[in-house]
Amino acid sequence: MAITDVPAFAHLTNPDIECLAVELDAIRLDIEESRGGRDAHYIRRTIAAQRGLEVAGRVLLTVSSHRSAWWAGTATLGVAKIIENMEIGHNVMHGQWDWMNDPEIHSSTWEWDMSAVSKHWQLTHNVMHHKYTNILGIDDDVGYGVLRVTRDQRWSPLHLGNLFVNAVLAVGFEWGIGLQSLELEKFFKGQSNRKIALVQIREFLIKAGRQVFKDYVAFPALTSLSPAATYNSTFSANAIANVIRNVWANAVIFCGHFPDGAEKFAETDMADEHRGQWYLRQLLGAANFNAGPALRLMSGNLCYQIEHHLYPDLPSNRLHEIAIRVNEICDKYDLPYTTGSFLMQYAKTWRTIAKLSLPDKYLRATPDDAPETRSERMFGQLGPDSADDPASAAHRQGLKTAIRAVRQWERRPRTRRWPRCLR
C-alpha cells in the first residue's frame, strides 16, 4: 500500500533529512546564481527553431502533392508541436524563464498550442501535482481519475479496460489534460463552486474552439488555395500531428511517475511535512530515463523527472548538470536513483497498467512490496540489525541497503518442515 511514513521508508533519521535538504538547497542556489546569457540564448534559440519547424511543416503540406512530402510535412509539424508543448510551453509555464523578465517568455503570458487553458493547467499541475506529488486523494495525476496504477485504488470491473482506456487517453491526451483541470465530476455532484466552475468551463470551450478552428478549419482552408494541396489533406495531416504529439507527451509523462520505483504516498504523510521531507518525497516519487541531446529536447528534459520535481522552476537546459549532483547525493544517503532506458521505463508503465486491470487476488506480490506499490511495511520481517551489510559498513545505510536486505531475506534457503511422524 502507499507509504505512510516517508522517513521510515527511506531509513533516514531527521538529522539525515535536514542535511539532505541543505545539500539540495545548495544546488538550487548554485544554478540560480549562475543562470544568465547562455540560458537565455538557449530558450530563444529553441523557440526560433520550433517556429521554423512549424513553418517548414506547413510549407511542405502546401507546396507539394507528393505523398512523401505530405508525410514529411506531417512528421515535421508533429515534432514542432512536441517541442512547443514539452520543452517550451511546459517549462515556460513553470516559471523557469521568468527571471529573464521577457514578457513573451513568461509564465503569466504564455499560452501553449493545445486545448488545455494554460492558467488552468498551472493550478492543476504546478500546485496540485508538484506540491502533492503522488499523494493519493490529492494528486489527480495518479491515474488521472480513469486508470488504476496502484493497489491503493480499489479494483472495480471497469478496470478490466485499463489497457484500452490508456490507449484512448494517449491518443487524446491534450483533451484529457484540458478536461482534468475542470473537475467535471465534482461539478456535476455539486461539490465545486458553481460560479468558478462555469467560468473555467467557458474558458476551456473558448480555448478548445480556437484550437479546433486553427487546426481543422483555418489551416486546411488556407492550404486548399494551393493547387498542390487539398482541404482534406491538411485536415488529416494536422490530426495526425496532434496525435503524434499526444501519444509522445503521454509516454514521456507516464515514464516519470509509473515505472517501478516511483512510489505512492498516503495523504496522512502530509502532516507537518518540512522541506527536507518534501525533497525526499520528490526523490522517491519520480523516475528518470536515459537520454541523449535529441531525446532530452524532445522530452522537454523530463528525462530528468526527478530533478524537475526537485527544482520545477529552474531552467530545463540545466537539469543535465543538476542530475550528476543529485545522483551523487542519492548515493551518499543510500537512496535509489530510479532510471533506465526510455523503452524499458515505458514498458514497465504498460505492464503495471495491464497487471492492475485485474483484482488483487490474481496478483502475486504483496500490496506492500510490489514493483508498482511499496510501503514501509515491506521491511516488517527485518530485525533492527538485519539491514547491516559489512561491505557498506563505512557508508550510511538507507533505503537501498534495506531493499537489498529484503531481497536477500526472500532468497534465503527455506527450512524443510518434515511431517511429525518423520521427525
pLDDT in tens, 90-110: 999 999 999 999 999 999 999
- The phi-psi region of residue 142 (left if phi > 0; otherwise alpha if psi is between -120 and 50; otherwise beta) is beta
- CA–CA distance, 12 with 398 (Å, rounded to integer): 6
Residue 419 has pLDDT above 90, yes or no: no
How far apart CA 165 and CA 143 sit, in angstroms, is 11
Q: Phi/psi class of residue 334: alpha, beta or left (left: φ > 0; alpha: ψ in -120 to 50)?
A: left
pLDDT at 396: 63
Over 70: is that where the pLDDT of 421 sits? no
pLDDT tens track for 365-386? 888 888 888 989 988 877 655 5
User: What burial letters (b/e) apply to 191-214, b meaning 16+ CB within 10 Å?
Assistant: ebeeeebeebeeebeebbeebeee
**Span of 79-93, 110-124, 182-196 with lowest mean pLDDT:** 182-196
pLDDT at 187: 82
* Residue bearing cell 518525497: 281
Q: Kindly give the residue spans of alpha helices, DSSP state H, lying in 258-318.
A: 275-285, 293-298, 305-310
> How far, CA to CA in Å, does 22 sit from each of 28, 174, 318, 332?
10, 38, 20, 14
> pLDDT at residue 157 above 90?
yes
- pLDDT, tens digit (0-9, with 9 covering 90-100), for 27-40: 999 999 999 999 99
End-to-end Cα separation, the chain, in angstroms: 40
Beta-carbon neighbour count of residue 228 at 10 Å? 14
What type of residue is 212? V
**Residue 271 clears pLDDT 70, i.e. is over it:** no
Over residues 36-65, mean pLDDT: 96
What pLDDT sits at residue 185?
Answer: 80
What is d(CA 215, CA 57) in angstroms, rounded to the nearest whole number?
13
Say if residues 147 and 253 touch (Cβ distance below 8 Å): no
The 8 Å CB, 24+ separation contacts for 387-392 are 387/11, 392/334
Of residues 291, 253, 301, the one with CA closest to residue 133: 253
Residue 420 confidence (pLDDT) above 60 = no
* pLDDT tops 70 at residue 286: yes
Would you report the helix, strand and coil content of the chain in percent, each value rounded to 5?
Answer: 65, 0, 35
pLDDT at 287 exceeding the cut of 60: yes
pLDDT digit string (tens) for 290-324? 999 999 999 999 999 999 999 999 999 999 999 99
Residue 59 has pLDDT above 90, yes or no: yes
Q: How confident is the model at residue 269 (pLDDT cuts 50, 70, 90)?
A: low
147, 353 contact by CB (below 8 A): yes
* CA pair distance 247, 141, nearest whole angstrom: 16
The per-residue b/e assignment along 317-353, b for 16 or more CB within 10 angstroms, e otherwise, is: bbbeebbebbbebbeebbbbbbbbebeebbebbbebb
* Residue 388 in this model has a pLDDT that exceeds 90: no
At 247, list the grid cell: 501519444
Among 65-74, 98-107, 114-123, 368-377, where is mean pLDDT lowest? 368-377
Predicted confidence at residue 183, as pLDDT, reads 85
Q: What is the pLDDT of residue 214?
A: 96
Q: What is the pLDDT of residue 416?
A: 53
Give the pLDDT confidence score for residue 184 in this predicted structure: 83
Whole-model pTM: value is 0.92
- Cα–Cα distance measured from residue 379 to residue 330, given in angstroms and rounded to the nearest whole number: 20
CA atoms of 412 and 304, how far apart (whole Å): 36
pLDDT tens sequence across 163-220? 999 999 999 999 999 999 888 888 888 878 889 999 999 999 999 999 999 999 999 9
Separation between Cα atoms, residue 37 and residue 30, nearest integer Å: 16
Residue 194: per-residue pLDDT: 86
Domain ranges of the chain: 6-304, 380-413
